[in-house]
Amino acid sequence: MAKTDLAKEKKEILNAYRGLLRDCSRRELTKKQKKLIRKAFNIALDAHKNMRRKSGEPYIYHPIAVARIAASEIGLGTTSVVCALLHDVVEDTELTLKDMEQMFGAKVASIIDGLTKISGVFDSTSSLQAENFRKMLLTLSDDVRVILIKLADRLHNMRTLEVMRRDKQLKIASETLYLYAPLAHRLGLYAIKSELEDLGLKYTEPKVYKVIQKKLTDTRLERQRYISRFTVPVKQSLKDEGIEFQVKGRTKSIFSIWNKMQKKDVEFEEVYDLFAIRIILNSGEKKEKADCWRAYSIVTDYYKPNPDRLRDWVSTPKANGYESLHTTVMGPRGKWVEVQIRSERMDDIAEKGYAAHWKYKGASSESALDQWINRIQELLKNPEPDALDFIDDFKMNLFSDEIFVFTPMGDLRTLPAGATALDFAYDIHTQIGNQCIGTKVNRRLVPLSHELKSGDQVEIITSKKNKPKEDRLKYVITARAKSKIKASIKAEQKKAAVDGREILERKMKNLKIHVDSANINKLLSFYGVKDSQDMFYRVAIGNLDLKKLKEFTLEQGKIKSSPRKAKPGRSLEELVKRTRGKSDTLVIGEELQKIDYKLSPCCNPISGDDVFGFITIAEGIKIHRVNCPNAIQMMSNNAYRIVKARWTNQELIAFLVGLKITGIDDMGIVNSITKIISTDLNVNMRSIGFESDDGIFEGTIMLYVQDTTHLTDLMKKLKRVKGVNGVERIH
């Protein structure tokens, strides 16, 4: 039986390899390229022959799948396919980078080196920490293919995540939503970004995902009929104009539907733009812009456009190369419909990102990708940045929406949405930012913190005497501006430290303390300062009490002992370790009384909810629900502070929970609701409030329950009350 299975597996592996060749053949492979891919496949097959994935299938399926994603979904060439096949070989076997270079050349070895260096960042067994992410971005400036292959790797891991443990699923899905999906978006890989987001939601919010997925399936036929009705007159007019085109109906991703439901606080049925209609024109590059506007004119002849919803990325493409004309029009039956108009070239770039960009522009051109990489390199030059600040700066600046502003001479500058006038000054030049004392926007004097809008014309007023102070960090959002302000402050601190050193040395000599490295190290330890530079600076600004030097015990100029400091108490982390015992799970309940823990107010967990503990700096352990709005960020940035948690028997504890009840305002309905709560189920209420408007009521009740089962039972009974339309828990 085992032999038959092995034979079957061998056949499936060969089929997967042939599928890879078919994906690559769209680029018309030469004999040499086919030979290289076969060679890489054979080496990978041999290297992973005794390895299996968590699912039990042969490990070789994974590198083949990653190579297929790189070839067909990102559109990468032979070099990338070879690297994708070999991306785990150097790490998992005795083969070295030197072997790779001899067999496949320097470029392949360099990319595999980049992939190996950052494997810890994407490794499912470790948390994605900010410092590692920083190292990963350093490789981006060498060859963007390193990141593209890693994104393909992450996509395949997400597609096969169901075999992992629940806690691993949550961690990997959270990292994906927090960083990798936005990274794919920034690189113009919209299809991959959407799939990563949907798969991330599938594991972080499984119930929500299933509900929306089912509703999309149930309404698919109705959507298709509507799209057909909408496009009939448009198609005919485009044909009459002699424009070659194709029309596609694209349904919104589950994640973006959920996002809209959350932001607008609406139900699935109230999300009006569940789908977009895409008109793709077969136009040459010289005519495509004019043809897009011709098509726009035809669409708006039939359907009234919403003037606030026109997005022109044809005239001014996004920084990641995205070009398209978006409008929202009023379609049949009073429904708003989003229409996207673009050429085949634009559509290719929108789906495949930069790989397609290279195909049209050639790798030598100074594309938006090069500008993006330059901005990353500037971020990495940030002097000693705090790792988590770095992540936030990176997300803020490189994944945000953009605005377009102008210099007094009419030059266009791109900044992230929310950028201020001071950000603009630093975007022009570091010196202009440092010397900036005032700004004019559209010829009016405004504060440095003034938030810019697209189309603003900005003028900077400078003074050579000005030096930036720390409070200016509050006026900027771009990483460039923050890093330049910090660098300038640091340079000033260095100057002050020279004076501080003189003051300290003079004081030590007066007290007959030798000025040597051993004594300086003892002072550092006593004052709790990280290095001598920082200590000298603090002395200069009067931040350290030098009177304490008199209390040191000396022996021939050497410090023998320092004054006593208060002994710190046992750390929270130590208490957690002691309470956890051998298990890695933190039990919430009677065993946790020794530790300060709180139920987090951001998600109000109750007994029975799927929860985790988060070790805070000042407030002990906070218990959060797994679907807490802050969970993704906490799990991505601070996985080492996450503690697994489960509930013990909590029958005597009551948890405060909020319910929102809506329905038809009828006499006696409030009495029926309160009777069920207090009489039938013996639940204590803390507060109750009802509002009625035009026959519809909405009530909010704060009450105490024992656990999720108790709450579910209560909600079911309330839903049965005549006139009640909806009962939901307030998050």
Of 295, 307, 302, whose CA–CA distance to 340 is shortest? Answer: 295
Of 639, 643, 641, whose CA–CA distance to 618 is shortest? Answer: 641
Q: Which of 92, 389, 392, 451 is catalytic?
A: 92
- Joined tokens for residue 518: 């051993």
Rounded Cα distance, 479 and 394, in Å: 7
Of 492, 466, 468, whose CA–CA distance to 481 is shortest? Answer: 468
User: What string of DSSP letters covers 53-65?
Assistant: -TTSSBTTHHHHH
Between vectors from CA 656 to CA 655 and to CA 662, what angle results, nearest 5°?
130
Contact 281, 341 (CB under 8 A): yes
3-state secondary structure of 609: coil
CA distances from 721 to 175, 697, 699 (A): 43, 14, 14
- Joined tokens for residue 556: 């021939």
DSSP letter at 177?
I
Of 280, 272, 273, 274, whose CA–CA distance to 351 is shortest? Answer: 280
Contact 358, 321 (CB under 8 A): no
Q: What number of helices (H) and strands (E) belong to the chain?
A: 30, 22
Rounded Cα distance, 491 and 495, in Å: 7
- Establish whether 451 is a catalytic residue: no
Q: Which of 91, 573, 574, 596 is catalytic?
A: 91
Which residues touch 79 (CB under 8 Å, ≥6 apart)?
A: 107, 108, 111, 145
For residue 71, what are the β-bridge partners? none
Strand order in the sheet with 655-664: 685-693, 696-705, 655-664, 724-729
Rounded Cα distance, 74 and 191, in Å: 9
Rounded Cα distance, 487 and 494, in Å: 11
Residue where the block lists tokens 């991703």: 253
- Establish whether 143 is a catalytic residue: no
Rounded Cα distance, 226 and 28, in Å: 40
Q: Read off φ and ψ for residue 696, nearest 5 degrees.
A: -115, 135
Rounded Cα distance, 690 and 698, in Å: 6
438-457: burial string, b at 16+ Cβ within 10 Å, e else: bbbbeeeebebebbbeeebe
The catalytic site residues sit at: 91-92
